[in-house]
Amino acid sequence: MVFLTLSCWIRNRGPDRYWKVQEVLSNARHFRGRKNRCYSLAVRAVRRAFVYATKARKIKRRNMRTLWISRIAAASREHGMKYPALMHNLVKSSVEVNRRVLSDLAITEPKSFLSLAKLARAGQQEGFGAALGDGKEPPGVFSRIVTLQ
Amino acid sequence: MSSFTKSAQQWATFARSWYLIDARMQPPGKIATMCAIRLQGKHKPIYHALSDVGDHVVVMNSRHIAFSGNKWEQKMYSSHTQVHSSSIFLFFLQIVKLAVYGMLPRNLSRRTMMQRLHLFPEDDLPEDILLNLTEELPQPREIPRRLNEYSQEEREAFPTLWTP
């Protein structure tokens, strides 16, 4: 008597389970606890990590902008101006320098930043003069009316 | 500045300064905002939360702080029990300390920043702190003078609405 159904019971699992598991665990090696060793826990943690990484690409741009703004505010306060006043007067003077470049200037080119702050300060004083003064243009100025195209 | 070596320039940029604030007749909240800004390093263009760029701040005469309004009677500080702000003598240091603690960001570097804040009740600062001080910050509030501190000429020169 020969057992013919024995060969039907052998299950041929995939040959590359090891590498599929390593694909996930290699992303989890720097985690804390059993999540860096055990596949079931690691799979969940790795998925969360990838989701956070996807969302963070937008948040990174926001964080960088707030960092630039706080650096520009600190540098402008060193020169006696506040950040809103600085930005508004730079825009009024049609200096279209973005916050990234301004913060880099504040760190590496302090004299250039000082000159920009002085320009903004002049615009601020001019605005105060126009608002509080008697409506006449200051002497020696051709025309204060600048229109942004 | 450009003639310095790169290492010397880096050392000068990231050095930690010691600021002095005189809190005589000043509102503790305004003192605390100045302290908090400098402890975090937000007054520097190289600021980053992870970079530990905060400076030391020494507050002297913190016994002589002046709350505005009726806060000495009305403001309550709680720590499991309610404590009236005018009752305990040694409480003065805690007022400024709690104010600064509440103004710092709620993260792990808050405790390190509080360790860099030095509060003293009177003028007498220890020798080693006096040697470290670099800059004194201007007081946020102009101290008003009492009537008997004005001279007779200034009192007569002051404009009157009507003569009684």
Question: For B131-148, what is each residue's pLDDT tens digit?
Answer: 999 999 999 999 999 999
How many residues appear in chain B? Answer: 164
- Is A107 close to B42, i.e. CB distance below 8 A? no
Residues 6+ apart with CB under 8 A from A100: A64, A68
* Cα distance between residue B20 and residue B17, in whole Å: 10
Contacting residues of A for B42, CB less than 8 Å apart: 70, 73-74
Q: Choose, out of B43, B51, B55, B135, the residue to mutate when testing the contact with A (most A CBs < 10 Å).
A: B43
> In angstroms, what separates the C-alpha of A116 from chain B's closest C-alpha?
15
For residue B77, what pLDDT band results from cuts at 50, 70 and 90? Answer: confident
What is the rounded average pLDDT of the residues B39-62? Answer: 95
- Residues B43, A74: C-beta atoms closer than 8 Å: yes
Q: Higher-confidence residue: B63 or A134?
A: B63
Q: Tokens for A133? A: 């003064």
Q: Which residue has the higher pLDDT, A126 or A47?
A: A47
Span A60-132: which CATH code?
Answer: 1.10.1900.20
Mean pLDDT (whole number) for A30-37: 96
Task: Please determine, for residue A78, whether its predicted confidence score (pLDDT) is greater than 80.
Answer: yes
- Paired strand residues for B56: B18
Between B164 and B47, name the one with better pLDDT. Answer: B47
Give the mean pLDDT of A21-28.
97
Residue A102 contacts B where some CB pair is shorter than 8 Å: no
Integer CA distances (angstroms), B11 to B4, B15, B16, B44, B50, in order: 11, 6, 10, 15, 18
Q: Is B43 on the interface with A (CB under 8 A)?
A: yes
Q: A101 at the B interface (CB within 8 A)?
A: no
Confidence of residue A132 (pLDDT cuts 50, 70, 90): confident
| Residue listed under structure tokens 């880099």 | A104
What's the pLDDT tens digit per position in B146-158?
999 999 999 999 9
Residue A139 has pLDDT above 80, yes or no: no
What's the confidence (pLDDT) of residue B84?
64
Using CB atoms, which residue from B42, B45, B48 is nearest to A106?
Answer: B45
Q: What pLDDT, in 10s, does the model give residues B78-97?
A: 876 666 655 555 577 789 99
Q: Residue A15 pLDDT more than 70?
A: yes
Computed over every residue of chain A, the mean pLDDT equals: 90
Q: Which of B144, B36, B150 is nearest to B98 (CA)?
A: B36
Distance CA A63, CA A135 (A): 43
Q: What is the DSSP letter of B116?
A: T
Q: What average pLDDT does range A21-45 have in this prediction?
A: 97
More confident site: A102 or B91: A102
Three-state helix/strand/coil letters over chain B: CCCCCHHHHHHHHHCCCEEEEECCCCCHHHHHHHHHHHHHCCCCCCCCCCCCCCCEEEEECHHHCCCCCCHHHHCEEEECEEEECCCCCCHHHHHHHHHHHHHCCCCCHHHHHHHCEEECCCCCCCHHHHHHCCEECCCCCCCCCCHHHCCHHHHHHCCCCCCC
- What pLDDT, on a 0 to 100 scale, did the predictor assign at position B86? 58
Question: pLDDT-derived band of residue A109, with 50, 70 and 90 as boundaries?
Answer: very high
Give ranges for CATH 1.10.1900.20 in chain A. Answer: 60-132
**Stronger pLDDT, A134 or B64, i.e. the higher one:** B64
Lowest mean pLDDT among B15-19, B27-31, B34-38, B86-90: B86-90
* pLDDT for res A2: 81
Residues of B in contact with A77 (CB under 8 A): 43
